């Protein structure tokens, strides 16, 4: 499945900045960063459950937010980009 994951983490405290780094690292393990806090992800149902569980353990539910949008198949192939945005290599292996 293809997903668009976005997050907003409060970074006014050292703990918030730590959560931001943890969320970024988590998402980098699943997909491609296309903007600062936006990732395009291709994964299985099981991987999605693991990702959501890990994100829940990282964020502060009273301050932070995560949104996951399930997209139609092959949606990433039809993305319109403006400016310096490069296409993400979704068909290539994800190297950490």
For residue 3, pLDDT beyond 60: yes
Q: Mean pLDDT across the stretch 28-44?
A: 93
The top-level CATH class assigned to 2-73 is alpha beta
The pLDDT of 30-47, averaged and rounded, is 93
Whether 8 has a binding-site annotation, put simply, is yes
For the segment 3-12, the average pLDDT, to the nearest whole number, is: 96
Specify the pLDDT at position 74. 79
Q: How far is CA 11 from CA 54, 71, 75, in A?
A: 19, 29, 32
- Reported as type and span, the H/E element at residue 11 is none
Q: How confident is the model at residue 88 (pLDDT cuts 50, 70, 90)?
A: low
The pLDDT value given to residue 19? 98
């Amino acid at each position: 499945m293809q997903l668009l994951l976005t997050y907003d983490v409060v970074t006014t405290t050292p703990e918030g900045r730590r959560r931001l780094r943890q969320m970024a690292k988590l998402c980098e393990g699943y997909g491609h960063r296309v903007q600062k806090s936006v990732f395009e992800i291709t994964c299985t149902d099981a991987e999605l459950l693991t990702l959501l569980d890990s994100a829940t353990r990282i964020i502060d539910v009273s301050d932070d937010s995560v949104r996951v949008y399930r997209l139609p198949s092959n949606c990433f192939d039809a993305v319109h980009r403006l400016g310096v945005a490069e296409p993400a290599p979704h068909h290539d292996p994800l190297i950490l």
